[in-house]
Amino acid sequence: MERIFTNSDVDHSALRGAIIAVVGYGSQGRAHARNLRDSGYDVVVGARAGGKAERQAKADGFSVVPVAEAAQQADLVALLTPDMTHREVYASEIEPNLRKGAALLVAHGFSVIYEQIVPRGDIDVVLVAPKGPGDLVRREYEIGRGVPSLFAVHQDATGTARAKALAYCAGNGGTTAGAIETSFREETETDLFGEQAVLCGGATELVASGFKTLVDAGYKPEVAYFECLHELKLIVDLMYEGGFAKMLHFVSETAKYGDFVSGPRVINDETRARMKEVLTDIQNGNFARQWVAENEAGKPEYERMWKEDLEQPIEKVGARLRTHMAWLQSQPQSEAA
């Protein structure tokens, strides 16, 4: 059984009196910065002058300086910009200015594992990854709880890297909810696999294929939408709240029996073999090389596939049906994790 770290395991002195620079003031960055400040840490935000991040951080009451200056001041830099920006931001703004013995922190290990960042040998390199979107990380912190988090050490130049990661995790509410120690490689590879094979790639393809199967068989697109996409939230919510056990408790006997006899016909050994191929491409770096090359080329295939996804018939049917769902109209836009 994996150990779960809580507040009693934290050495808060590891970051006491330290200056934490948050670079990247999006969903996660804004939540981390506010939580850390409310936990008593000294936080500065590094941002481009005149940009949206600078305006928002100043409105939130932070001292905002250029990224290079933030790195000069910092004992720990939390690099929370999108993965594909890490190489440039680190090389041009952070590495030349981060002092010996300081720490670099990321919330996802992609740029370190796939060597978009090659850290100097005289700094600590750590990871803290809350398992939820920034809005939830902030809300749970504000009510005295937290979001479970992962933490890891990639490079320990000072002998205190692990203590710094746990202290940061605690300041963000992670050890209030419970934190699990991992490695950069494990966090990165499992995160990418989950996104591709299950959460984003797998789920959307399953939904789209189910919809197409029903429509091709002559059923109304609107009815197919409800059965293959709309009701998915009900099932996912039950599993999120209580695993398979809660879902099976609340669905009908007919649904349970259909689950048992037909689920393995759809997700079978062939499917799992394809999942293994996805994982292998992540483990051997093929996916990372492809994604980095796509970015460097200006993302033409990415844009084409995105457009293609949004032009699927299920999207057009869903957009029309959702205008009749009053409860959706007042909801805030969801964030990605």
The residues that are catalytic are 108
Q: Which residue has the tokens 């048992």?
A: 260
Residue spans of beta strands (DSSP E) within 41-170? 42-46, 63-65, 76-79, 103-106, 124-130, 149-155
Residues 302 and 95: their CA atoms lie apart, in Å, by 30
| Beta-bridge partners for 181 | 151
Question: Strand 42-46 relative to strand 179-181: parallel, antiparallel, unpaired?
Answer: unpaired
Binding-site members for NADP(+) are 25-28, 48, 134
Cα distances (Å, whole numbers) of residue 175 to 33, 129, 193: 16, 12, 25
Residues 163 and 165: their CA atoms lie apart, in Å, by 5
Binding-site members for Mg(2+) are 191, 195, 227, 231
Q: Are 225 and 317 in contact (CB under 8 A)?
A: yes
Q: 298 — alpha (psi -120 to 50), left (phi > 0) or beta?
A: left
Which 3 state secondary structure label does DSSP give 154?
Answer: strand
Binding-site members for substrate are 252
Cβ neighbour number for residue 320 with a 10 Å cutoff:
12
Token pair for 240: 């999120």
- Residue 134 CB partners (closer than 8 Å, separation 6+): 26, 27, 28, 29, 30, 31, 32, 335
Binding-site members are 25-28, 48, 134, 191, 195, 227, 231, 252
Amino acid code (one letter) for 3: R
